[in-house]
Amino acid sequence: MSTQRYEEELSSERDYVAGLYARLDAERARVKGGYDAALRGTGGTHLERDDEVRALAKEAKRLAVADNGLCFGRLDSASGECSYIGRIGLFDEGDGYEPVLLDWRAPASRAFYVATAANPEGMRRRRQFHARGRRVVDFTDEVLGRPDGDGAGRGDAALLAAVNAPRGEGMRDIVATIQAEQDEVIRLDHPGVLVIEGGPGTGKTVVALHRVAYLLYTQRERMERHGVLVVGPNPAFLNHIGRVLPSLGESDVVFTTPGGLVPGLRATAEDAPAAARLKGSLKVLDVLAAAVADRQRLPEDPLPIELRDVALRIDAATAEWAREEARASGLPHNEARGVFTEIITYVLTERAIARIGRGWLTRDDRDAWEQLRADLVKELAEDEAFTAALDLLWPVLTPEALLSSLYSSAERLRAAGGDPALWRADGEAWTVSDVPLLDELVDLLGRDKSADREAERERRAETAYAAGVLDNLVGRQDSMDDEDHLFATDLLYAEDLADRFLERDTRELVERAAADRDWTYRHVVVDEAQELSEMDWRVLMRRCPGRSFTVVGDLAQRRSPAGARSWGAMLEPYVPGRWVYRSLTVNYRTPAEIMAVAAGVLAGFAPGVRPPESVRSCGVRPWSRRVADDELAAAVEEFVRDEAGREGTSVVIGPPDVPGAVPASETKGLEYDAVLVVEPGRILADGPRGAAELYVALTRATQRLGVLHREPLPGSLVGLVEVGEAART
């Protein structure tokens, strides 16, 4: 293409994209006008207006994300048709409602990501735009269907520009540069569990997030009322990835860590390896069940109950019968308390009636007998000693109270068959590994139904009042003379009143879902899934009865002693035959020079695992520097100072006693332009997980890697240029 022709085409593309932005602005204005009108409350019932406000607010969010990279490419078919590809879809509102911009998730957009020179998918050219703000700066063309034709191979320009760009605050979407290997995974039509495995830098996390956006686009009606759950390893990781889905116009997503899966609790502390292994195993289920059973007690001595007319006792035989009946009911502990109470009450009232009515009352006097029983039942229910006895023998328990008392009591641990390694002085010092146990206890214990019954009584009373208001208004209308007036607003007010008494939850889906332990999601994404234990998976399977998951991980990076050693072992019990595996093999983050260093560490602890192949080189050799004890802090400060003057991000990774350093576990899934790893030998020596930790630390860098050490480097750490042998870049 000549320079003149290129400039003409560029001008034409700028005009077209400017027209798309004009349509976007007009659509935003239309939605805002409708939103403002809905807020003013003109027309419809309260519920109808509320639904309209919600729908328009969601549409406004979808349109708000499109300013940056609204249109990033164009496809020209072999038949001469032209399609523009972008972040959202826009349509010509004239005849036919034709698309003027295809959503990247639409089936017709697929060729933009998978067409190659050898397999053009019916296309002859792919054009990729480079823009700043709303203005197209330039474009590159790739000719398809002609492997030796003009422009072949130029399609990598956008990808290389993206992976070489300095990193910012958080993860960026890859909507403009999705590669064919990634697109296949994103669009995979599988209703069960998809496992995406890949080494560092293969983009498995961002692929999983784009898969969520794709599923929400193709299955919106099925998914949007329940939303999507994304589980990541730590808060820093969630903050890092949190912008990707909103940038794609999707907001009905709950982000949490394994330590946040129980509403109201945010556990971040980790157990020692032995305790973590015990809590993560399914064997702990027997311990929990035994701990609950241990609180269903029999009295050592009969418990006295003094009523007005008779003295009674709850003996061991009565309590044992009641306990057997309550356990046989199959109800959770707190709900089975009702059965236990019913049996105890029955026995005590029978004994009381027999004593009180001796000589004058027989069962033939049914009315008198039942009246006396009713009086005794009421008296027992109000008797403090009786309530105290029930609390002793069959207490109402919360998951937190039960688990805390189990951990802090060696006697209760022994009674439940728990390992002594589970003991701790502060029972409520919750760890991440405690969360699935607390969640399990929600089901084992159930709820105290008395509060629910009281709330239901209040709700019925309020609804009856609202219905009475409506009845009065209708009666008033029927009795009016012609000259009287009953305005429509009166009836609308009554409908609004009734709606409000129904206590409709007006919170956004994300708020409601995050606060509700029993909420179920249509799809769940699990990142760093190799770290999840068997007990963690029980929690997640409860959250998604449909078993629709995208599971992301790398078994070679596993550090948790309770984590996965194989995907099948974790998934087959829940989705036998319903999970598929895909691997990503190209490293888009870590340059070849750095990956060569990390590969030596990988070979040392996972010799059968092949490292991902880096898509690029950076031209900068990773370096190492040996320092004396009193030089370490200054050397770290020097790195921080040098990187502060560069564009991009940096991090220091090392043991806890290194000033300014973070542990490798807190950087999982993150990426930085520059990384300084301090004391790799000490990281490596941190038990079985040390090698995986060092591998993670070495593969966070996108441009520059340095290593500081006081002791000789580990033998597996090769390929570093010692400062002094070569200049540091």
Q: For residue 66, which amino acid is it?
A: A
DSSP letter string over 658-697? Answer: STT-B-GGGGTT--EEEEEEE-HHHHHTSGGGHHHHHHHH
**600 annotated as belonging to a binding site for a ligand:** no
> Torsion angle, CA of 31/35/36/37, rounded to 10 degrees?
100
For 430, the 3-state DSSP assignment is: coil
Residue 472: count of CB within 10 angstroms of its CB: 11
Q: For residue 30, which amino acid is it?
A: R
Category of 666 on φ-ψ map: left (φ > 0), alpha (ψ -120 to 50) or beta: alpha
**202 annotated as belonging to a binding site for a ligand:** yes
Which ranges constitute the DSSP H helices of 359-487?
A: 366-382, 384-393, 399-407, 410-415, 435-445, 449-478
**45 annotated as belonging to a binding site for a ligand:** no
**264 annotated as belonging to a binding site for a ligand:** no
Longest Cα–Cα distance of the chain, Å, equals 118
Compute CA distances 189 → 548, 553, 691, whole Å.
11, 20, 36
Which ranges constitute the DSSP H helices of 41-75?
A: 46-64
CB 594 within 8 A of CB 619: no
Q: For residue 519, which amino acid is it?
A: W
**203 annotated as belonging to a binding site for a ligand:** yes
CB 184 within 8 A of CB 565: no
For 719, the 3-state DSSP assignment is: coil
Distance of alpha carbon 287 from alpha carbon 395, whole angstroms? 19
CB 225 within 8 A of CB 512: no
CB 702 within 8 A of CB 589: yes
H or E segment to which residue 20 belongs: helix 3-40
Distance of alpha carbon 14 from alpha carbon 6, whole angstroms? 12
CB 313 within 8 A of CB 323: no
**201 annotated as belonging to a binding site for a ligand:** yes
From the list 398, 385, 505, the residue with the least C-alpha distance to 441 is: 398
**200 annotated as belonging to a binding site for a ligand:** yes
What are the structure tokens assigned to 456, written together? 């239901």
H or E segment to which residue 210 belongs: helix 204-218
Distance of alpha carbon 554 from alpha carbon 237, whole angstroms? 16
From the list 537, 528, 583, 584, the residue with the least C-alpha distance to 560 is: 528
From the list 704, 717, 708, 715, the residue with the least C-alpha distance to 593 is: 704
For 650, the 3-state DSSP assignment is: strand
- Exposure b/e, 336-353, CB count within 10 A at least 16 = b: bbebbbebbbbbbbeebb
**568 annotated as belonging to a binding site for a ligand:** no
CB 123 within 8 A of CB 78: yes
Instruction: Please state whether beta strands 579-584 and 193-198 pair in parallel, antiparallel, or not at all (unpaired).
Output: parallel
In angstroms, what is the C-alpha Rg of the chain? Answer: 33
The whole-angstrom distance between residue 461's C-alpha and the CA centroid of its chain comes to 38
Distance of alpha carbon 635 from alpha carbon 728, whole angstroms? 14
From the list 593, 567, 554, the residue with the least C-alpha distance to 204 is: 554
Binding residue numbers? 198-205
Which parts are annotated binding residues for ATP?
198-205
